[in-house]
Amino acid sequence: MKVFFIDKCNLLSVISFCIFSLNSLSAKFYLTPENALFTLKNDFLFSRRNKNCILALLLLKKYILNIPQKSNYMQIRKKLLISALCFCTFSSLSAKTKFFTDDKKKFASLLPSDNSSARANDLVDSLYSQIGLDSSGLQRNVFFYAFKGYQYLLNENKLANPDYLTICDYSQSSAHKRLYVIDIKQKKLLYNTYVSHGKNSGEEFATSFSNLNNSHKSSLGFMVTGETYRGRAGFALRFDGVEQGINDRVRARGVVLHGSRYVNEERIDEKGFVGRSFGCPAVPMEFYRDIIETIKDGSCFFVYNPDMRYAVNSKIMNANFEWPVFATPIIPSINLTSNTIDAENAGLNTTAGIK
């Protein structure tokens, strides 16, 4: 009987590969089966948290491909390769099961305590219902991520215009109205309309994103709206990306919000999806000016997609902090000395008495 031995190097490769696959269970974004292998590649190549996985992948390749070229060994080789791919796909699907069920505890890892998690979920549920986002096509989990980032930027004092939260949901088809401008103070959905993505990000769906110049791709993550200006696209709004390495080059790239004649229902009827841009979130001409005037000068703008690389690398999405909305108000204290009350604090005339 032939015995198949695994040396220490090969054993390390298998263990590392399995650990990496299990790590994908902690992904906080939905991943479709079709994108599972693409995500595996992305996380190996780009995740700062799994730099050693590149070595593990190379070692695993060596382990599988170096099996002797004999019929019985070829069967082992084939089974190992299929098992590895199936395991990665299963891990990605498990991420969906863990984080996108109706269990409200699914967001516990994003908040500092169980109590904060419960309060956050209750608040998000309330806002989500009051604003009517369910009927507009925005998933609750997307709103949760957006509102968490909004709270993060509030906590960092980065929002000069905190009344508005804009969500650009690139998980949806461009044939859907996937831009949401929300008045947080009044709890109202002000605008829900079409929005374009970069021409190199995809056709009907945006599936690829970049922070590089001339990529003609959209950028993900949280941004703060800047000033308005008039350029080649007419009246437009600048952005400042606040996530380093993810969208911090949007201003230099010229990614702005502007109106477009290729973003409308007529284009959808003709092509099946709206026209694409060089990376800008362009909106219909009939709404662009009102939207720009509403959200300009320091409001939160969130571009979402269930992208594994963003889920892993976003400091905002993985931040642990107390939401400002739950901050305990500070009650000023009144100091009492002896039997005398400070006249100014108490509002009494202490000189009054019996003659």
The residue that leads in pLDDT, 327 or 181, is 181
- Are 280 and 306 contained in the same domain? yes
pLDDT at res. 101:
36
pLDDT at 183 over 60: yes
Q: Is 148 inside a domain boundary?
A: yes
Give 192-225 pLDDT, tens digit per residue: 999 999 999 999 999 999 999 999 999 999 999 9
Give percent of the chain with pLDDT exceeding 90. 59
Q: Is 353 inside a domain boundary?
A: no
- Are 201 and 151 contained in the same domain? yes
- Are 84 and 134 contained in the same domain? no
Exposed/middle/buried for residue 282 (C-beta within 10 Å: 0-12, 13-18, 19+): buried
pLDDT at res. 203:
96
Domain end call among 99, 124, 147: 99
- Cα(90)–Cα(336) distance, rounded to whole angstroms? 66
- Cα(102)–Cα(200) distance, rounded to whole angstroms? 34
Q: Is 189 inside a domain boundary?
A: yes
For residue 229, give both structure tokens: 């200006």
Q: Which 8-state DSSP code applies to residue 106?
A: G
- Are 194 and 120 contained in the same domain? yes
- Are 293 and 237 contained in the same domain? yes
Lowest mean pLDDT among 98-107, 164-173, 252-261, 319-328: 98-107
pLDDT at res. 350:
36
Give 324-346 pLDDT, tens digit per residue: 999 866 555 445 444 444 444 44
pLDDT at res. 108:
43
Q: Is 184 inside a domain boundary?
A: yes
pLDDT at res. 1:
46
Bridge partners of 179, per DSSP, are: 168, 193
Lowest mean pLDDT among 46-50, 146-150, 239-243, 333-337: 46-50
Lowest mean pLDDT among 30-34, 161-165, 185-189: 30-34
- Are 245 and 319 contained in the same domain? yes
- Are 34 and 86 contained in the same domain? yes
Say how many domains are in the chain.
2
User: 194, 181 in Cβ contact below 8 A?
Assistant: no
- Are 156 and 304 contained in the same domain? yes
- Are 286 and 184 contained in the same domain? yes
pLDDT at 237 over 80: yes
Give 119-175 pLDDT, tens digit per residue: 999 999 999 999 999 999 999 999 999 999 999 999 999 999 999 999 999 999 999
pLDDT at 281 over 90: yes
- Are 131 and 277 contained in the same domain? yes
Lowest mean pLDDT among 82-86, 205-209, 321-325: 82-86
Could you tell me the pLDDT band of residue 40, with boundaries at 50, 70 and 90?
Answer: very low
- Cα(280)–Cα(277) distance, rounded to whole angstroms? 6
pLDDT at 111 over 50: yes
- Phi–psi pair at 278, nearest 5 degrees: -90, 15
- Are 156 and 225 contained in the same domain? yes
Give 11-29 pLDDT, tens digit per residue: 554 555 554 444 444 443 3
Domain that holds residue 27: 8-99
- Are 192 and 83 contained in the same domain? no
Instruction: Give the mean model confidence (pLDDT) for residues 85-105.
Output: 45
Q: Is 355 inside a domain boundary?
A: no
The residue that leads in pLDDT, 68 or 1, is 68
